[in-house]
Structure 1
Amino acid sequence: MELISQLLIVESSTRAFAQEPIIPFVILLLVILAVPILFERLQLPGLVGLVLSGVVFGPSGWHIFHINSPILNLLAEIGLIYLMFIAGLEINLELFHRKQKWQALGFSSLTFSVPLVVGILIARSFEFDWIAAILIGSTLASYTLLAYPLINRLGVINNEAVSVVVRATIFTDIGALLVLAFCLAVNTRNLDFWQVISLLTSLAIYALVIFVCCNWAGKEFFRRSGDDEGNQFLFVLLSVFIAVVSAQLMGVEKIVGAFLAGLAVNDAVGEGPVKEKVVFAGSVLFIPIFFVHLGLLIDLPTLIKSVATLELTFLVVVGLIASKFIAALLTKLVYHYNWQEMLTMWSLSLPQVGVTLAATLVGYRSGLLSGMVVDSAILLMVVTSTLGPFITSRLAISLPSSAVKQQSAPAQPDNDSEQTNKNPFTIVVPVYNPQTQQYLIEMAALLAHQANGRIMPLAIATATAHMDAPQLEASVHRSEALLTKATALSRVLGVTAEPLLRIDDAFAKGISRTAREHKANLIVMGWGKRTGLRARLFGNVIDGVLWASHCPVAVTRLVDSPKKIQRILVPMENVIAPTLQPVQFAQILAEANQAQVTVLNVCDRRTSSSKISWRRSQLSLLVSKLTLPNPPEIQIIAHENVAQAILQAARLYDLVVIPFVRNRTSPGGLAMSDVTTQLASQLTCSIVMLGEPQNSQATDLLTGLSSPTAVV
């Protein structure tokens, strides 16, 4: 009897433990951590895995996540708002004022109107009313640049056709959300003609007020708050939710307010650490939860049995693919793009993620759209987010770029020589860790030797409230000791050194400010690995320097003395529009050590021998334009995985030089994985990652190090 009572107690305790709300939340965190990683290993978008996780753990599967859970619904709602806010934040309105604005306007008109008409016809064939049909058509009109990190890494972002697609998102996203707001208002209020005009006027006034007020308030707050990134981060979040609340008070859909808030604070936030933190906070938690919640909405048994849902899904997917193709084809005929550019534009405009899912979900909650449309939209997202980046990866690898001429142009010897004599090539070397200081000074000394320049060892003593505080005094003494050691090392290496001690409120700001004040041409830093959530939220020194620096930054992880480097590997993914700076940087080190540089290109395993020969000749041609005295070796490897091929090849090398490419994060932060990230985490040899300044004018490194006085 006693045993039975104990078993009953254990059973009741287990049942109570299983009903704790914290248990599903722990499982949810595990899902959003592990599933995207697993799917990216399978070369699939992580968001697809999150949606499927919602199906598996939801009502159609194991019933762990409940669709009526207040906590889950709240987090998913925040994720929806965050998704639309980031979609607005990522749109750079300044792009409209640059070149190709008319091409962007033409492409956006075609890629919006053609799918809109096709979507309306499909919806009408399933007997949806006109308002619902227009809303369904508008959800197909926008697109998400899911493959942006890929084309950015391949260096084809400056191709005119690709640039047009990027700029066109400004119009398609805004257009789709305006149609959504209009359809919802007409459906709920049953408006006549003059009321419709009044509604459009109020929408325009609301958008103008939000845009002007948030923009002005953001600039003022950022100006007055100085460098307080924590308060700036909170201000951005507050702006979003104030815009959402005011939208609801005005009778406007809240995701429209979130999108407009993103557009409004875009200019104030700019490209910097605050924006990175804002995007990170949403992409790491709230937006993944939103995609998991979408999976809960799928009624899998009903979906399989419903012939009408399957027919609608098939027609929507085929109609979307065909209509986007027609829009890209018409753009090709009007603006005379070639077939490869046209197909790339088509593949980039295929993925339907952010605005499509948000508008569909809002239409479903308002009763305008049925659950059948939601199922179709989710399946459309799964198909297009997988198909679009896959096609882009096959097409963009050899896409021509307008940046080739700029990157391949040889330096001007006379002007460079005169500039070198007037302003010697200056390398700032921040010193902090005594264990890695010697290798950093040696690396900078090798580069300075080749450029007949100088190095500036820099020690930062962080400021305190009182300048006579014991903590500051101890920091100054420590910095002076580091500079004394650095000066002695420089003297032994035969390089002019000008040590600098700076008292500043932060390391990153002190480094970037010193480099600007002394007109430095290069910053050579030691590797500071991210550690934990705090580093991701509040950044580290390297992040801050890369965001703020006016000159190139060489981030180094040296496992041995740079003087012992004999074999240098430079992976180059795109043979049409490569980043040539790593090749030149590697060649400078090779000239100093009489080492050998190898430029490696990884192509698909199915690439023909003739195509491989073409790649080799193309790389040889590009490298020859750098006028290097000892041209590097060219190596082509056929492999199905770029990162794994480079890792295998790097076992035979002492140093790998790779560009540091800061990807624009697609809405949701669930973009395709970056090869550079994998290499940085798995390479065991020395690494140098070259980061270009945010203004992308990194000419000082190229002209200073590759001048006739530098390479002999």
Structure 2
Amino acid sequence: MSSKIFEHLSQAFEAPLTNPVLVFSLVLFIILLSPILLRPIRVPGIIGLILSGVIIGPHGLNWLEKSSAVNLFSTIGLLYIMFIAGLELDMNEFKKTKHKSIMFGVFTFAIPIAIGFPVCHYLLGYDVLPSILIASMFATHTLVSYPIVNRYGISKHEAVAITIGGTILTDTAVLIILAVITGASQGNINQEFWVTLGVSFAIFLFIMFGIIPKIAKWFFEKIESEKTGHYIFVLTVVFFAAFLAEMAGLEPIIGAFVAGLALNKLIPHSSALMNRIEFIGNAIFIPFFLISVGMIVDVSVLTKGPMALIVAGTLTVVAISGKYIAATATQLIFKYSSNQRNLIFGLSNAHAAATLAVIMVGYNNNIIDENVLNGTILLILVTCIVATMVTESASKKVVMEGHQDDAHVEHVEEGEEQIMIPIANLSTMEPILDFATLIKSKKSHYPLSILSVVPDNERAERNLLEARKNLDSMAKYASGSETEVELVTTIDYNIAAGISRMSRHVFADCIIMGWPSAVSFVEKIVGEKTESILNTTDTTLFMCRLEKPLISHKSITVFAPPLAESEFGFAYWMEKILKLAQELSLPVNFICNSRTAGATEEVQKILKSSVPLHYSNYEDWDNIYGLATFSNVDSLLVFVSSRNGEVSYRDSLDGLARRVGRYYKNQNLILLFPSRQGDSHIDEYEDIRTAPIFRKISREIGNMFNKEKQN
């Protein structure tokens, strides 16, 4: 009996796997674990999934082969990438700057091709068709680093707008070239081909932009209650468009891209339908496509001689150079600053979705070889890292020039302020409640929300009763200061998720919580609770270690890093610090640079606060321990940090709570994270947040593009 079971298991797990349930389980397992395991070293999600495909594919461990099921999901994923690319483009911004966008589109399309073709044809020795295809791949770009400019509050900047407009033009032109090259590779290029292509393309555009939007508008209005039906309708349009494009002699990915443009105005970016489209694509279809790309890659090709490495290096250098020259040409014509040029270069340099689409079509039609395919994977990795680093550096420079959007300034009505306090450790809650009472707006008619999150397990009901008892004791304590509180209990599988969900539910403007405790090994791998709360909330967050009475202090010392004044929640936390200082009758010492000092004085004038402010200049913010010279034992220390990737974030702020907690063992500490703008979608599989080691290396590369003349 046992031998039969063993034999059955051995057959089921025999490589390559053939059981469709097991194949699907393996792929889902990879999609689940890949971002978790690679998060500590900050490997981009898009690269992590491709590498996973390399490992489990036919050229790796051979656990998976290109079956019909894998091919189906891969095709859907490819179409999904192109559809979302068309759907997320801001057509209004394109219209405002259409003339400049067209000029940049011409540059970013023509210059990489003009450089790429002779390099591929004469230097690498490829034939004419492969050379044109590879050169056109250089012209494409994906807005991988767009979330960065969104976080910095410069998404409406003209340089950003023309880059987005150029994306529409260059990607569309490349996809049309792709159709011609595919036809030429099959020997179909003649007069009849051009007439057929022209007529069929015109009919295709008429159907997509003349008929489909009208049908879609009618459907969304008449079938309003059927939310599931809306998503199915959108998918139907995508695949119908892909089929129409194929019938017109074009590639299906052109159909999917045009479907995105056709439905662009009918699906708001912050709508529930958009959320469903992105969620399902990012959860299933797009990761499937990325894994299938990795399965095609044969790493051993790189070891078969110098040619593979030469091709990979050449492709990467040409791709970066072409986009940089295009950005420079745009700068010279429109008289942009070097920072604006770098912003354009950073946004347009990343090669991801469209690049993969072009190369996959070329590989599947036997136009390009494995060397180019493998070289493209390296190109994607390098350009994504360079693009992100350059965009971040340039965005900081543009912000310092004063080019932020007006919407980047936060204002919280005092009468509407909501503060939430999650309970973790009862022994530390009383001073935190006192702190919340001091900084809470006296005009707010909302009570303090005290939250207890109970894990969803077999003891959930019993834990819920205990939590309510604990909350009752907190309510009694609050009543002593006549502070009105609202007791909230909730059940969730994850503490951080429960806090995040309830903060949105009560529209919290501020979360006040205790100091993070030591983390376990598992939490370090999967992610600490504090980090999870920061990543899943947008509101201002205070982390407090209050072991001494607040009245024992003689001053408040605030350590504010450069560009802290450019954070969305700057004015709000400044108001809270000044209110605390006023309640305790303490002066505030700011340790910051001159720019931040000027911004704090402006806020003080607006608030008409009489709190004495003193300033000490500090510039070496990469050395956090150097701040110790400005602190004293009688001061309440407030460290202003920011969420990873925000305007004032820097490498030295990594693990700040752990480091200052160890260094200042017997002092009251507050770690402050300003609020950030919400509703900024970041595609998980095109996001790249480099590890500290990469950031330190890339900073040097960034200096090549951001050198300033010394006055």
TM range (shorter): 0.5 to 0.7
Instruction: Give the C-alpha shift of residue 281 in structure 1.
Output: 1.3
Match of 2:194 among 182, 186, 196: 196
Which one-letter code corresponds to 1:637 in the other structure?
W
Instruction: Supply the distance in 2 between the matched residues of 1:399 and 1:93 (Cα, whole angstroms).
Output: 24
How far is 1:81 from its partner? 1.2
Give the deviation of 1:671 after TM superposition: 0.3
What's the secondary structure of 2:445's corresponding residue?
strand
Q: What is the alpha-carbon distance in structure 2 between the residues aligned to residue 168 and residue 598 of structure 1?
A: 48
The offset of 1:674, in angstroms, is 10
Cα distance in structure 2, aligned partners of 1:264 and 1:668: 25
Q: CA deviation at 1:45?
A: 1.7
Distance of 1:648 and 1:124 partners within structure 2: 55
1:341 aligns with 2:340: yes
8 A contact 1:89–1:262 mirrored in 2: yes
Q: 117, 121, 133: which one pairs with 1:124?
A: 121
For 1:194-593, what aligned pairs fall within 5 Å after superposition? 195-226=193-224, 229-272=227-270, 273-400=272-399, 404=403, 426-427=415-416, 448-449=441-442, 453=443, 455=445, 524=509, 574=563, 577-579=566-568, 580-587=570-577, 589-590=579-580, 593=583
Match of 1:641 in 2: 651
Please tell me whether residue 669 in structure 1 is matched to residue 710 in structure 2. no
1:656 maps to which of 652, 669, 672: 672
Shift in Å at residue 193 of structure 1? 3.9
1:182 maps to a residue whose letter is V
- Structure 2 counterpart of 1:121, which letter? P
CA distance in 1, matches of 2:298, 2:421: 57
Residues 1:623 and 2:600 are matched in the alignment: yes
Q: Distance in 2 between matches of 1:215 and 1:526?
A: 44
Q: C-alpha distance in 2, partners of 1:663/1:345? A: 23
* Residues 616 and 347 of structure 1: CA distance in aligned 2, closer, same or farther (over 3 Å): same
- Opposite residue 6 of structure 2, the aligned amino acid is V
Distance 2:322 2:121 in 1: 17
Residue ranges of structure 1 left out of the alignment (5+ in a row) = 460-484, 498-507, 516-521, 529-541, 547-552, 601-614, 676-712
Counterparts of 1:658 and 1:431, CA distance in 2: 15
**Do the aligned partners of 2:540 and 2:675 also contact (CA within 8 Å) in 1?**
no
The Cα shift of 1:48 comes to 1.7
Question: Which residue of structure 1 lines up, in the alignment, with residue 87 of structure 2?
Answer: 89
Question: For residues 315 and 672 of structure 1, do their structure 2 counterparts lie closer, same or farther at Cα, with a shift above 3 Å needed?
Answer: closer
CA shift for structure 1 position 307: 4.2
Deviations along 1:362-399, whole A, 9 cap, x unmatched? 12223333333322322221222233223434444333
**Whole-angstrom CA distance in 1 between matches of 2:559 and 2:212:** 45
**Structure 2 portions without partners, runs of 5+:** 450-474, 487-499, 514-532, 624-649, 662-667, 692-711
Paired letter, 1:53: S
- Measure how far apart 1:14 and its partner are: 2.4
Structure 2 match to 1:47: 46
**Alignment CA distance shift 1:669-1:218 (3 Å):** farther
Counterpart contact for 1:159–1:401, Cα < 8 Å:
no
Q: Does 1:106 align with 2:103?
A: yes
- For residue 41 of structure 1, report the CA deviation from its aligned partner: 2.8
Structure 1 residues 107 and 390, CA gap change in structure 2 (3 angstroms): same
Distance 2:279 2:80 in 1: 11
- Residue 186 of structure 1 deviates from its aligned partner by 4.4
When structure 1 is superposed on structure 2, of 383-392 and 564-573 the one drifting more is 564-573
Question: How far apart, in 2, do the equivalents of 1:150 and 1:645 lie?
Answer: 22
Asked whether the equivalents of residues 385 and 688 of structure 2 are also in contact (C-alpha less than 8 Å), the reply is: no
Which amino acid counterpart does residue 118 of structure 2 have in structure 1?
L
Counterpart residue type for residue 50 of structure 2:
V
Would the alpha carbon gap of residues 554 and 593 (structure 1) be closer, same or farther in structure 2, given more than 3 Å must change? farther
Whether the 8 Å contact between 2:231 and 2:273 is mirrored in structure 1 is: yes
Name the SS of the counterpart of 2:621 in structure 1.
strand
Deviation at 1:445, TM superposition (A): 10
Q: Name the CA distance, whole Å, in 2 between partners of 1:194 and 1:598.
A: 78
Could you say what the CA RMSD is over the residues aligned between the two structures, in angstroms? 4.9
Shift, 1:239, TM fit: 2.3
> 1:392 and 1:410 mapped to 2: Cα distance?
22
Contact 1:568 1:586 in 2 (8 A): no
Matched-pair contact (CA < 8 Å) for 1:287–1:668: no
Cα 1:409–1:197 shift into 2, 3 Å: closer
Higher mean displacement: 276-285 or 651-660: 651-660
| C-alpha contact 1:400 1:576 (8 A) present in aligned 2 | no
1:704 corresponds in structure 2 to none
SS at the partner of 1:144?
coil
| In structure 1, distance between residues paired with 2:4 and 2:226 | 56
> Does structure 2 retain, via aligned residues, the 8 Å contact 1:571–1:657?
no
Q: 2:657 corresponds to which letter in structure 1? A: L
Query: SS at 2:64's partner residue?
Result: coil
Partners of 2:407 and 2:599 in 1: CA distance:
7
Instruction: For residue 428 of structure 1, report the CA deviation from its aligned partner.
Output: 7.3
Contact 1:429 1:524 in 2 (8 A): yes
Q: Distance in 2 between matches of 1:590 and 1:432?
A: 17
- What SS does the corresponding residue of 2:239 show, helix, strand or coil? helix
Judged with a 3 Å threshold, the aligned counterparts in structure 2 of structure 1 residues 619 and 442 are, in CA distance, closer, same or farther, namely closer
Q: Is the CA contact (8 Å cut-off) linking 2:543 and 2:670 kept in structure 1?
A: no
Give deviations 1:484-532, integer Å, cap 9, x for gaps.
Answer: x9xx99995599x9xxxxxxxxxx9xx999x9xxxxxx8758899xxxx
Give 1:229 deviation, angstroms: 4.2
Cα offset, 1:358, TM superposition: 0.4
Q: Per-residue CA shift, 1:306-362, capped at 9, x if unaligned?
A: 544333333222221222221122122212223333234323322211111101111
1:32-87 C-alpha deviation (Å, 9 max, x unpaired) = 23333444432332222222222222222211121x22222222222111111111
341 and 70 in structure 1: CA distance in 2 versus 1, 3 angstrom threshold: same
Q: CA deviation at 1:406?
A: 6.7
From the superposition, tell whether residues 12 and 524 of structure 1 become closer, same or farther in structure 2 (CA, over 3 Å): closer
- 1:274 aligned partner, one-letter code: L
In structure 2, the partner of 1:183 is 181
1:402–1:164 CA distance, 2 compared to 1 (3 A):
farther
SS in 2 for 1:656: strand
CA distance in 1, matches of 2:29, 2:557: 40
**Mean alpha-carbon deviation: is it higher for 255-264 or for 303-312?**
303-312
1:72 alignment partner in structure 2? 70
Partners of 1:408 and 1:664 lie apart in 2 by 13
**Cα deviation, residue 405, structure 1:** 7.2
- State the partner residue of 1:169: 167
Conservation of the 8 A alpha-carbon contact between 1:347 and 1:392: yes
- Give the drift of 1:141: 0.3
Separation (CA, whole Å) in 2 of partners of 1:571 and 1:217: 54
Aligned partners of 2:74 and 2:288 also within 8 Å: yes
Alignment partner, residue 710 of structure 1: none
Report how far residue 101 of structure 1 moved. Answer: 3.7
Instruction: Map Cα deviations across residues 264-296 of structure 1 (whole Å, 9 max, x no partner).
Output: 222111122321221121112221221221111
1:622 Cα shift? 2.4
Name the CA shift for 1:445/1:627 in 2 (closer, same or farther; >3 Å).
Answer: closer
Q: Describe the shift of the 1:432–1:306 C-alpha distance in structure 2 as closer, same or farther (beyond 3 A).
A: closer
CA contact (8 A) 1:404 1:578 kept: no
- Residue matched to 2:135: 137
